[in-house]
């Protein structure tokens, strides 16, 4: 994380603070601190020992000067603390803070050295309600992760050809309709078991756990989809509960988590065997595709034909043996007829197989011709020629742009030198500012005894006002 720089620089002449080299009593006897050195040492102690802290409180005395920084106080019923949030951090705040607003902040404890004021340097800010939920989420995720509940090695693969699919979701939600639509499209003959449950509110936690337990007890499905449609963080919170996460992780049936939209992430996603970005996507993942099943059927058909051929060969061999045993018996003529019939059937089968093989060869030849027309080598050569032409045009364009930019830069540099404040300072003028950076243009802006910073052409002067003469 980038360190936060105090609004005003510390006195560099005092040397480093010694806060850890010697015992406190010995240091007090041997060291004589200046105020600047003491404040610097205290700031280092606060920033190094406490680091980043989370706290919640009410905004008050909010100031947003033209510098872009925010200055305010955080308070509760008994105390308050000054805070500063620099513009590099407050640009990431997604809302407009106002006095009286309850917020959750992450801050670095520090000290504003010129005044010796204890303060907080705010790194991030969010409304207190969503922020507390986010903290609960991160804490539960960290704790369950430390237990090994989310280990990738414990996750099980989904069945390639599930016998049945279970849906743990609302019986009236749009998510159920979306999943059923996808399942009917991809696998219309796949049985679907619905375990209806609430998916929002405190009662949903026990119902989801009970539905998962029921599915495991019945053992009637090979995969479970647990989820719902989109909603706010509060709407989806039942899927961030520990009981639901443990029920998912402890399920003997592989579980797919499909909660909300693609951007929504829940504890259930980490506990499940697989996370789907939406309920529809979960249905796509668990249902076998028709084309894949068709390919599998073709493969099974080929295996069946091979098995039939082997059985036919074995039958012929067995028939030859029986024929030898029945040569002396009357059934010889019937066997001869059956043998002739078998030969006819065999010839027809061979003819049919040859016809199918010829059709396959023709189709393969057509596909080969189409593949040659779309040869990657030809496409690659054409693409290479286009790339070379584009590269030559790009080099020429870059050269022209560099020439134009060099000429423009030279002109702008000459113009800048003509209006540069440094040139004015070089003629003996100076810029006077307050320690906070405010430019002094009138004597009425300062008071007697006030420190000022004078910028010269080379270096700076820290001065103090002795007299003020107003016009």
The predicted pLDDT at position 447 comes to: 86
Q: With left for phi above 0 and alpha for psi between -120 and 50, is residue 116 left, alpha or beta? A: left
Cβ atoms < 10 Å from Cβ of 58: 16
Identify whether the C-beta of residue 81 lies closer than 8 Å to the C-beta of residue 118.
yes
Q: Domain 24-134 adopts which CATH fold?
A: OB fold (Dihydrolipoamide Acetyltransferase, E2P) (2.40.50)
Q: Which one-letter DSSP state was computed for residue 11?
A: -
**148-288: CATH homologous superfamily?**
Succinyl-CoA synthetase domains (3.40.50.261)
pLDDT tens, 79-115? 999 999 999 899 888 788 888 888 888 998 888 888 8
Strands 52-63 and 223-228: unpaired
Q: Report CA Rg, the chain.
A: 40
Question: Could you give the count of Cα atoms lying within 13 Å of 234 in the half-sphere of its Cβ?
Answer: 5
Identify whether the C-beta of residue 225 lies closer than 8 Å to the C-beta of residue 279.
yes
Distance CA 134, CA 385 (A): 54
Total residue count of the chain as it appears in this document: 471
Low-confidence ranges of the chain (pLDDT < 70): 1-30, 129-132, 135, 290-294, 326-333, 336, 418, 422-423
Instruction: Report long-range pairs for 85-88 (Cβ below 8 Å, ≥24 apart).
Output: 85/121, 85/122, 85/125, 86/4, 86/121, 88/2
Q: By C-alpha distance, which of 285, 276, 209, 210 is closest to 245?
A: 209
- In the structure encoding, which two tokens stand for residue 278, read together? 């939406």
- In the structure encoding, which two tokens stand for residue 328, read together? 């002396």
The predicted pLDDT at position 248 comes to: 93
Q: Could you please report the per-residue DSSP string of 414-464?
A: HHHHHH-HHHHHHTT--EEE-TT-PBP-SGGG--TT-EEEEE-SSSEEEEE
DSSP-based helix, strand, coil % in the chain, nearest 5: 50, 20, 30
Distance CA 166, CA 185 (A): 17
Distance CA 144, CA 240 (A): 11
Q: By C-alpha distance, which of 240, 209, 59 is closest to 135?
A: 240
First and final CA of the chain: distance in angstroms?
Answer: 50
pLDDT tens, 144-166? 988 888 898 889 998 888 999 99
Residue with tokens 């509940």: 149
The predicted pLDDT at position 370 comes to: 81
Identify whether the C-beta of residue 204 lies closer than 8 Å to the C-beta of residue 148.
no
Runs of H (alpha helix) within 119-164:
128-147
The whole model's pTM is what?
0.42
């Amino acid at each position: 994380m980038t360190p936060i720089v105090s609004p005003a620089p510390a006195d560099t002449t005092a040397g480093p603070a010694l806060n850890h080299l010697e015992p406190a009593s010995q240091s007090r006897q041997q060291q004589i601190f200046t105020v600047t050195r003491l404040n610097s040492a205290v700031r280092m102690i606060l920033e190094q020992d406490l680091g980043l802290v989370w706290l919640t409180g009410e905004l008050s005395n909010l100031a947003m000067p033209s510098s872009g920084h925010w200055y305010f106080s955080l308070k509760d019923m008994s105390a308050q603390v000054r805070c500063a949030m620099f513009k590099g951090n407050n640009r990431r705040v997604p809302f407009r803070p106002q006095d009286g607003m309850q917020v959750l902040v992450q801050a670095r404890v520090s000290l504003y050295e010129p005044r010796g004021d204890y303060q907080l340097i705010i790194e991030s800010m969010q409304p207190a309600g969503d922020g507390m939920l986010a903290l609960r989420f991160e804490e539960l995720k960290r704790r369950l992760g430390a237990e090994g509940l989310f280990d990738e090695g414990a996750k099980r693969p989904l069945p390639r050809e599930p016998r049945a699919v279970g849906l743990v979701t609302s019986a009236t939600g749009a998510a159920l309709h979306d999943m059923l639509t996808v399942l009917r499209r991809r696998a219309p003959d796949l049985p679907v078991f619905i375990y209806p449950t609430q998916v929002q509110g405190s009662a949903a936690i026990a119902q989801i756990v009970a539905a998962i337990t029921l599915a495991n007890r019945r053992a009637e499905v090979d995969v479970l989809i647990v989820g719902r449609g989109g909603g706010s963080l509060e709407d989806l919170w039942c899927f961030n509960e520990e009981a639901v996460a443990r029920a998912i992780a402890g399920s003997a049936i592989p579980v797919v988590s499909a909660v909300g939209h693609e951007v929504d992430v829940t504890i259930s996603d980490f506990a499940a065997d697989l996370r789907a970005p939406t309920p529809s996507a979960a249905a796509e993942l668990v249902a076998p595709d028709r084309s894949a099943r068709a390919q599998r059927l073709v493969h099974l058909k080929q295996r069946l034909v091979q098995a039939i051929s082997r059985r036919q060969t074995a039958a012929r061999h067995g028939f030859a043996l029986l024929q030898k045993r029945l040569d002396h018996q009357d059934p010889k003529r019937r066997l001869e007829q059956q043998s002739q019939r078998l030969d006819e059937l065999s010839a027809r089968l061979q003819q049919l197989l040859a016809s199918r093989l010829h059709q396959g060869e023709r189709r393969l030849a057509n596909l080969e011709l189409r593949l040659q027309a779309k040869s990657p080598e030809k496409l690659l050569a054409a693409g290479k020629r286009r790339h070379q032409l584009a590269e030559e045009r790009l080099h020429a364009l870059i050269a022209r742009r560099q020439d134009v930019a060099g000429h423009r830069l030279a002109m702008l540099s000459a113009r800048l030198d003509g209006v540069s404040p440094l040139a004015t300072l070089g003629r003996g003028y100076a810029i006077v500012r307050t320690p906070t950076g405010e430019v002094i243009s009138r004597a009425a802006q300062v008071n007697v005894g006030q420190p000022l910073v004078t910028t010269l052409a080379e270096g700076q002067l820290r001065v103090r006002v002795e007299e003020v003469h107003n016009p």
